[in-house]
C-alpha cells in the first residue's frame, strides 16, 4: 500500500491523540516499577533516582499485604459478583429501554424521558450517598417515617447488610443506565429504516422486528462495550461502594470490594509500593481478560471484535 496524501492527513489528525497517549499513558508506565520496589525516597533527590537507584527490588513482596487478609476470597467474590451483575444488567436494561424509547412516537416525551434518565449520571456519588441517607436514616429517614406510619418498627438500614446488595445494585443501575441507553439509542437510529419498512410489509410484528432486525444490528455495539468493560473487571466504582453506604462497618461484608479494601488498608500508611502493587494486579487481570474475550468474540464472529 502506497503512502497517500490522505493518509498523511489522517495521521496528522491522530497526532493529538497519540501525543496524549504517549504523555499520559505510555511515559508513566515506568511507574509499574513501584509495584516491585520497596520505595525508599531520599529527600531532595529526583523521583527517578529515588525509584530506580535508591529503592531496592523486592520481587513480589508488595503483594503480600493482599494475601495477608483472610478475607481475600470474600473481597474477590464481592468484586466479581457486582461487576458481573453490572456487566449483564448494563447491557440488558439499557438495550431494553432504548428499544422501548425508539418506539415512542412523541419526540418531546422521548426527549424528556432521556433527560430524566441521564440526570443521575451527572451527580457525584457523594451527593447520591447523602440523598440516599435522606431516605434511609434511622431517625429522620423518609422510609422509616413511612414504616412507622403503617405501624411497623423502624429499620436500621445502615446496620442491616441483608438489604444492601439490592440497594447497591439498584443505585448503580439507576445512575449508569441513562448514559449507556443513549449509546444504544444512537446505534438504533443508525439502523436502516427500510429494513423495518420491508419487514412490516412482510407482516412482521413489533417483537419480530426487534428480534430479527434491532438486536442483530446492535450486536457490534454490545460486543464493543462488553469488551471494554471486561477490562476493568477487578476495578469497582469506589464511590458506590464506599460513599453510598457511608463506610458503615456493619455493611462491610457486602460492600468490601478490592478498591475499597486497598483504600482502607493504605489510607493510614501512604505506602506507594503497596498501592501500585494492587492496581498493577487489577490492570494485569483486566488486560488478560480483555485479550481473551477479544479472541473469543473473534472466534464466535469473524466480523466483530
Partner 1 sequence: MTGKFRIVTILLLLMLLPVLNGCEAGFREVNSKGEEVVKIRIVTYDNGNVPLDGREVIAAANEISKEKIGVLADLEFQSAEKINLMMASGEYYDMVFTSSWINKFDKNASMGLYYDITDVVKEETPALYASIGEYWECAKIRDRIYGVPVLKDMGSENLFRLNADYFEGEKGMEIPEEMTFEDIEPYLKAYKEDHPNEYPLAMDKGGMAGYLNFLERVVGGIVVIPYDQDSDKPSAVPFWECDKLVDRYRLLHKWYKAGYIHPDAATIDSTNDNKSIPVRAGVAWRGYQGYSNPDDWGFHVKTSVYDGPYLSRTSEQGAIFSICAACDEEHVKACLKYLELLSTDRRFRDILGYGIEGKHFEYLPNGTILRLKAGQDGYNTKLFQTGSVVNASVESASRTFLADPDQWEKVFEGYEKDGIYSKTKGFAYDPTPEEDIITAVSAIYDDYATELRTGTSDPDKVIPEIKKRMKAAGIDELLEDINDQLDEWVK
Note the residues at the interface with partner 1 (CB under 8 A).
Answer: 5, 9, 12, 15-16, 19, 39-47, 50, 61, 64-65, 68-71, 133, 137-139, 156, 158-159, 246-250, 252, 256, 261, 264-272, 274
Residue with cell 502506497: 2
Q: Contacts by 120-124 with C-beta closer than 8 Å and gap 24+?
A: 120/174, 120/175, 120/178, 121/175, 121/176, 121/178, 121/179, 123/175, 124/239
Give whichever of 125 and 274 is closer to partner 1, judged by the CB atom. Answer: 274
Per DSSP, 57 falls in state: B
Return the bridge partners of 57, or none. 37
Give whichever of 223 and 243 is closer to partner 1, judged by the CB atom. Answer: 243
How much of the chain is helix, strand and coil, in % rounded to 5?
75, 0, 25
Q: Which three cell numbers stand for residue 136?
A: 434511609
Cβ 80 to partner 1, closest distance in Å? 19
3-state secondary structure of 37: strand
d(CA 157, CA 254): 13
Cβ 72 to partner 1, closest distance in Å? 10
Give whichever of 148 and 219 is closer to partner 1, judged by the CB atom. Answer: 148
Q: What is the 3-state secondary structure (H, E, C) of 279-298?
A: HHHHHHHHHHHHHHHHHHHH
3-state secondary structure of 156: coil
Cβ 19 to partner 1, closest distance in Å? 8
Give whichever of 63 and 82 is closer to partner 1, judged by the CB atom. Answer: 63
Cβ 134 to partner 1, closest distance in Å? 12
Cβ 139 to partner 1, closest distance in Å? 6
Cβ 232 to partner 1, closest distance in Å? 22
Give whichever of 34 and 184 is closer to partner 1, judged by the CB atom. Answer: 34
- Residues 185, 102: contact at Cβ < 8 Å? yes
Give whichever of 111 and 253 is closer to partner 1, judged by the CB atom. Answer: 253
Amino acid at each position: 500500500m502506497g503512502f497517500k496524501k490522505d493518509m498523511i492527513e489522517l495521521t496528522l489528525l491522530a497526532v493529538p491523540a497519540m501525543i496524549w497517549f504517549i504523555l499520559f499513558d505510555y511515559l508513566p508506565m515506568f511507574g509499574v516499577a513501584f509495584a516491585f520496589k520497596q520505595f525508599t525516597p531520599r529527600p531532595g533527590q529526583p523521583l527517578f533516582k529515588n525509584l530506580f537507584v535508591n529503592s531496592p527490588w523486592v520481587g513480589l513482596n508488595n503483594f503480600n499485604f493482599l494475601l495477608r487478609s483472610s478475607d481475600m476470597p470474600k473481597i474477590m467474590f464481592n468484586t466479581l459478583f457486582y461487576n458481573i451483575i453490572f456487566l449483564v444488567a448494563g447491557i440488558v436494561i439499557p438495550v431494553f429501554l432504548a428499544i422501548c424509547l425508539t418506539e415512542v412516537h412523541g419526540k418531546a416525551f422521548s426527549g424528556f424521558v432521556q433527560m430524566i434518565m441521564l440526570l443521575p449520571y451527572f451527580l457525584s456519588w457523594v451527593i447520591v450517598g447523602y440523598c440516599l441517607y435522606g431516605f434511609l436514616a434511622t431517625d429522620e429517614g423518609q422510609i422509616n417515617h413511612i414504616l412507622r406510619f403503617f405501624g411497623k418498627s423502624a429499620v436500621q438500614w445502615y446496620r442491616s447488610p441483608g438489604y444492601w446488595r439490592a440497594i447497591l445494585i439498584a443505585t448503580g443501575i439507576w445512575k449508569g443506565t441513562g448514559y449507556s441507553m443513549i449509546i444504544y439509542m444512537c446505534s438504533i437510529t443508525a439502523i436502516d429504516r427500510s429494513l423495518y419498512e420491508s419487514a412490516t410489509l412482510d407482516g412482521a410484528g413489533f417483537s419480530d422486528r426487534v428480534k430479527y432486525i434491532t438486536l442483530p444490528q446492535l450486536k457490534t455495539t454490545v460486543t464493543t462495550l462488553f469488551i471494554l468493560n471486561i477490562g476493568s473487571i477487578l476495578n469497582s466504582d469506589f464511590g458506590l461502594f464506599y460513599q453510598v453506604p457511608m463506610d458503615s462497618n456493619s455493611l462491610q461484608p457486602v460492600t468490601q470490594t478490592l478498591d475499597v479494601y486497598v483504600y482502607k488498608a493504605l489510607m493510614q500508611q501512604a505506602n506507594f509500593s503497596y498501592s501500585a502493587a494492587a492496581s498493577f494486579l487489577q490492570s494485569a487481570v483486566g488486560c488478560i481478560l480483555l485479550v481473551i474475550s477479544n479472541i473469543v468474540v473473534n472466534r464466535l464472529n469473524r466480523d466483530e471484535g
